[in-house]
Chains A and B, each alone.
Chain A
Amino acid sequence: MVTVKILGSGCANCRRLEAMVQKVVTAKRLDVRLEEVTDYAEIMKYPILSTPGLVIDEKLVSAGRIPAESEIVQWLSAAGAV
């Protein structure tokens, strides 16, 4: 099981990222646990300067933007969720 975390305080972009990840996970039936991290002390444990951030298995893969769906699929495959 792969752990995916969305780092962000709940603004529109963070929600969009979460929706996108959820969509990919559901569509491809991936073995993923999705978490939302909104506490700043927790968020700053990752090397991030702009939200939304995407963390896969404790590694920060994207920050400050909404990545393309294809990128999300790629990262999740690399992490072994597929």
Chain B
Amino acid sequence: MSSQTKVSTCRYNYPSMLLGLKLGVVAVLWYIAYSALLPLTQWLTYSVLGLTRGSQLGESIAFFLYDVPKILLLLSAMIFGISIVRTFFSPERTRALLGGKRQGLGNTLAAMLGIVTPFCSCSAVPLFIGFVESGVPLGVTFSFLIAAPLINEVAVVLLYGLFGWRVAALYITSGLTIAIVAGFIIGKLNLERYVEDFVWQLQLAHGGAQEQLTWDIRVERAWGSVKDIVGKVWLYVVAGIAVGAAIHGYVPESALAGIMGKQAWWSVPAAVLLGVPLYSNAAGVIPIVSVLIEKGASLGTVLAFMMAVVGLSLPEMIILRRVLKPQLIAVFVGVLAGAIMITGYLFNFIV
């Protein structure tokens, strides 16, 4: 392992030809599999299984057979890609980049870094303490803590796979905006006294070793992430798509327009209030979300629900209680929920 004092002249090395070749082959295979999915599953459903086109059972089965492998392929590609990007970032580097930046700029940078810095919600506490103790402003730290779980790659790829790139881009942009604005507001409220006292009294240790990574290691870790996350999430994806397929085939159009449509003004707050205490990974929620929209629920309401589920989780709040006093947690949840609600209304309005 390299020590802190060694200075390397070339910070990033290049992938070897062999590795590049292997990656190229995998990419081509992936593309072939992806393109073959629709014709293959249509053939399976209507020719092999002999179901009738347009029938409820036929529609449901075709939807299911097509969407499961499609989502899994997209998920694998996305997780691989973003894991490679993440090997170039670390919480230590993010902290160094954010230290001392003033509000506004700091919030924006923090939110963007929240997307690419590796983060797991159990790290929320060490990260919070580490950032805040080294001079990253409280509001900026919150922008990071909001963006990281909210704009998660599983959610983005599922939205892209089911709704197309516009909705996925909309989700990322609104997630960033929410993180920046909510963090900024919390920063302006000067709530430092609601951080648990011991945090301010800690003497931070310094000098963690920076890892020098080769491309072989980067690819190995990215592949490990793919296996790890897909392994955890595939069952939820299948279950979610199964439910979605059932609704797709059997529930009539516009069935939900009444309760979840634009006309019901209270649907956005209700969706957020329902979503906050729920905790799910994005994989299970989104396929259901897609079919709700198909059946008449409006995009804003449903996205607000999704963000409330994914962005605010009870386990994370419980963990943060170790470093935040209840008043600050309440402000955090309140500001974030409020920002999500406004986004929900906005989407209902413009989309």
Q: Do A and B bind each other?
A: yes
Residues of A within 8 A of B (CB): 8-9, 11, 13-14, 40-41, 43-52, 60-61, 63-65, 75
Question: Out of A11, A44, A64, which one reaches B205, CB within 8 Å?
Answer: A44
Q: Which B residue sits closest to A12, measured CB to CB?
A: B122
Q: Which A residue sits closest to B122, measured CB to CB?
A: A11
A5 CB → nearest B CB, Å = 13
**Additional 6 contacts, C-beta under 8 A, given A44-B129, A49-B123, A64-B118:** A9-B125, A46-B205, A49-B92, A49-B130, A50-B91, A50-B127
- Complex Cα–Cα for A8 and B122 (A): 8
A49 near B205: Cβ-Cβ < 8 Å:
no
Residues of B within 8 A of A (CB): 1, 90-92, 95, 118-123, 125-127, 129-131, 133, 198, 202, 204-209, 221, 319, 322-323
- Complex Cα–Cα for A13 and B224 (A): 14
Contacts of B206 in A (CB 8 A): 47
Question: Out of A11, A44, A52, A60, which one reaches B130, CB within 8 Å?
Answer: A44
Contacts of B92 in A (CB 8 A): 49
A75 CB → nearest B CB, Å = 8
Contacts of A43 in B (CB 8 A): 126
Contacts of A60 in B (CB 8 A): 208-209
Q: Which B residue sits closest to A51, measured CB to CB?
A: B123
- Complex Cα–Cα for A14 and B126 (A): 14
A44 near B122: Cβ-Cβ < 8 Å:
no
Contacts of B319 in A (CB 8 A): 9
B120 near A49: Cβ-Cβ < 8 Å:
no
Question: Out of B118, B119, B122, B129, which one reaches A9, CB within 8 Å?
Answer: B122
Question: Out of A13, A14, A40, which one reaches B125, CB within 8 Å?
Answer: A40
Max chain B CB contacts within 10 Å: which of A46, A49, A52, A61? A49
Max chain A CB contacts within 10 Å: which of B118, B206, B208? B208
A41 near B122: Cβ-Cβ < 8 Å:
no
A-B pair count, CB < 8 Å, reads: 71
- Complex Cα–Cα for A61 and B205 (A): 14
Q: Which A residue sits closest to B127, measured CB to CB?
A: A49
A40 near B322: Cβ-Cβ < 8 Å:
yes
- Complex Cα–Cα for A15 and B95 (A): 27
User: Do A47 and B207 form a contact, CB below 8 Å, given A40-B323, A64-B91?
Assistant: yes
B95 near A49: Cβ-Cβ < 8 Å:
yes
Contacts of A65 in B (CB 8 A): 118, 221
Q: What are 5 A-B contacts defined by CB distance under 8 Å?
A: A8-B122, A9-B122, A49-B123, A49-B126, A60-B209
Contacts of A13 in B (CB 8 A): 120, 122
Contacts of A75 in B (CB 8 A): 1
Max chain B CB contacts within 10 Å: which of A13, A48, A61? A48
A79 CB → nearest B CB, Å = 12
Contacts of A44 in B (CB 8 A): 126, 129-130, 133, 202, 204-205
Contacts of B121 in A (CB 8 A): 11
- Complex Cα–Cα for A63 and B123 (A): 10
- Complex Cα–Cα for A14 and B125 (A): 14
B208 near A51: Cβ-Cβ < 8 Å:
no
User: Do A41 and B202 form a contact, CB below 8 Å, given A9-B319, A48-B208, A50-B127?
Assistant: yes
Q: Which A residue sits closest to B118, measured CB to CB?
A: A64
Contacts of B95 in A (CB 8 A): 49
- Complex Cα–Cα for A8 and B204 (A): 17
- Complex Cα–Cα for A8 and B319 (A): 12
A63 near B208: Cβ-Cβ < 8 Å:
yes
A64 near B322: Cβ-Cβ < 8 Å:
no
B202 near A50: Cβ-Cβ < 8 Å:
no
- Complex Cα–Cα for A78 and B300 (A): 56
A50 near B205: Cβ-Cβ < 8 Å:
no
Question: Out of B126, B202, B322, which one reaches A51, CB within 8 Å?
Answer: B126
A50 near B126: Cβ-Cβ < 8 Å:
yes
A40 near B208: Cβ-Cβ < 8 Å:
no
A56 CB → nearest B CB, Å = 11
Contacts of B131 in A (CB 8 A): 49
Q: State the 8 A-B residue pairs at the shortest beta-carbon distance, nearest first.
A: A11-B122, A50-B123, A49-B91, A47-B208, A47-B205, A49-B130, A50-B91, A51-B123
